[in-house]
Amino acid sequence: MATYKINIDPSGQSAVFNPSTQAVDAGDQVSWTNNDSKPHWPGLLNPDGSFVGLVDRELTTSPPFNVSSVWSAPARVDSNGNQISYTLTYVDRYDHNMQGIFQINPTP
């Protein structure tokens, strides 16, 4: 298993996930660090538009809660129970145009 850190960096009037695309393996751990002057909260948007955080709370603009807790990438399995690769797109709760992508691969 590996650990990955994703920065939330200011970019013009908005902010970006950096790196915006991250390849991980199922079970790997990911955390975010907010370097922006506004709070952010990475998560998923459900089909009905509701927000599901990847971590417990929003990331503040100053330590210690500008660093997130851990999110561990889930596996996706086919009908035989074998893990498959898939893509997961996440957004910032407060700016849905701010997107990041996980390319999630089977656990090696």
Partner 1 sequence: MSDNETRREFFNRTLGAASGIALTGLFREASAQQPPQFCPAVPNATAATAVPYPGGAMPQVAGPGREISRGADGILRATIAVMGEPRSVWQAQANTATSNGFAIPACRTNQDMRYFAGYTADGAKVWPKMMGVPGPGPTLRARVGDTVQITLLNQVDPKEFALTLDVATEGGGHGCDTANTTIIDPATNVARNQQIYPMNDQAPDCFHGSSSANLHFHGFHVSPSTISDNVLVQVRPSPRDPKTNQPIVTEATVHAWFAQVFDAAMHGHGPQKWEDLPQGYRDLQKKYLQEYDTQVPGAQLWTSDEAAIAAGQWPQYYVGAYPNSFKITEYNQALTAHDQPLLPGQQAPKAKMGQAPGTHWYHAHKHGSTALNVFNGMAGAFIIEGEFDDQLNAFYRGKGPGGKGLTEQVLVIQQLGSQLNLLNAPQPNRAQTGTTKEQFVFVNGFPQPQMTMQPGEIQRWRILNLCTQVAIGFAGFQANGSPAPAGTFSWKQIAQDGVQFNWDNYNGPANSNPAFVMTAANRVDLLIQAPNTAGNYSLMVYHEPFPPGFATAPLLTIQVGGARVTDMAFPSEENQYPKMPEYLHDIDPKTIHIHREVTFNTEYFGNDGRRGLGPGRAQYPSIKPSRHTIDGKQFENQIIDQVMLLNSAEEWTLINTTQVNNIPGSGGSGATPLGYYAHPFHIHINPFQVIEIFDPVTMWEPRKFDKNFVWYDTIGVPPAYNYYPDGKRPRLDKDGNQVFVPGYVKMRSRFVDFTGLYVFHCHILAHEDRGMMQLVEVVSNETIQQHH
Stretch of 12-20, 22-30, 91-99 contacting partner 1, by CB under 8 A: 22-30
Contact 59/18 with Cβ under 8 angstroms?
no
Contact 53/88 with Cβ under 8 angstroms?
no
Peptide bond into 63 cis (omega under 30): no
Nearer to partner 1, 66 or 98 (CB): 66
Would you count residue 55 as binding partner 1 (CB under 8 A)?
yes
46: helix, strand or coil: coil
Number of residues near partner 1 (by CB under 8 A): 41
**Residues in contact with partner 1 by the rule CB under 8 A:** 1-5, 26-29, 31, 33, 44, 46-48, 52-56, 62-65, 67-77, 81-83, 88, 107-108
